[in-house]
Structure 1
Amino acid sequence: MTPVTNSTTPNSGPAAVTFRAPTVNDAPRLWQIARDSRVLDLNSSYSYLLWCRDFRDSSVVAAHGDNIGGFVTGFVRPQDPRTVFVWQVAVDENLRGHGIAASMLNHLLDHLAHQGVTRLETTISPGNTASQALFTSLARTRYTSIARQRLFDPSHFPDQHESEELYTIGDH
């Protein structure tokens, strides 16, 4: 895969935000942003290191200055190379409200389109209305369809996790 290229988007935040592929050195900050979100499932710090090494070409970080202010972790599904599965999206609390999450997702989809990716999948728990709004808006702004179906019930999880619904954006 071709690495995610750098790009900048204007925003009303404190500084211009640059999007790029994550590096292993970014992993501790991704872990911190996920932890501080108090919404995302916090994976081990080791998993963020592996994500930044092994799935960097299908993930994005938002840098403002020398700081990482947000990230999208994803992978192209081995069983369906037309589909990117987005694992987590997070923006630092101080940068929320400036469209950074949507911009990262659009950047990722634009980058992966050159590799034949035409569809995005993600799972969202029924109570996560912010993520539901983000991905519904993404489908609308990209003039494409969105579908939702139950994927995992609480009985699938050993830790009392909520159910997860699969959202599919793009061709079906």
Structure 2
Amino acid sequence: MSTFPEYTADEIKQLQSSDNVLSVVLNFVEQGKLTTQMLTRQTKPVKKLLRKIDSLVIDNGILYRKIHDIECGECKQLVIPETLKHYVLETLHNLSGHQGTERTLALLHKRCYWSDMVNDVKHWIKTCERCLVAKNPFTKSSSINGFVNSM
């Protein structure tokens, strides 16, 4: 699994198929049919993802979203189950130098997808302790004052 090499394809399949939303979406994509009546009976998160059904594909049992990207042409984004969101955000934000919202979204966009990704990234960055410390002018000035006063 090249998107997240820490996980095997079988582990990703298992995580997706045990996810409350993705298991339902996988079923619809496998069947290849979705009626309005079927859609109305679904939960809000399922409906939100099913709006993208034309771009959803299953490859070797794993759900992806196909997109056209300027840099890579047509690429497949791994559809992330709920249980992996924290790991993905931590990996791509924290281990990539605590980039801002746009850069973190760009890194994610090339690899994966989930319905509320933009809001989740914004929230993650707003609550990232390291980012808050780096952006807080009082933290910088108080440490400078402490250094000056100790001289």
The answer to whether the superposition gives a TM-score over 0.5 is: no
Which structure features the higher share of helix residues?
A: 2
TM-score by length of 1: 0.31
TM-score by length of 2: 0.34
Q: Which has the larger radius of gyration?
A: 2
Which structure features the higher share of strand residues?
A: 1
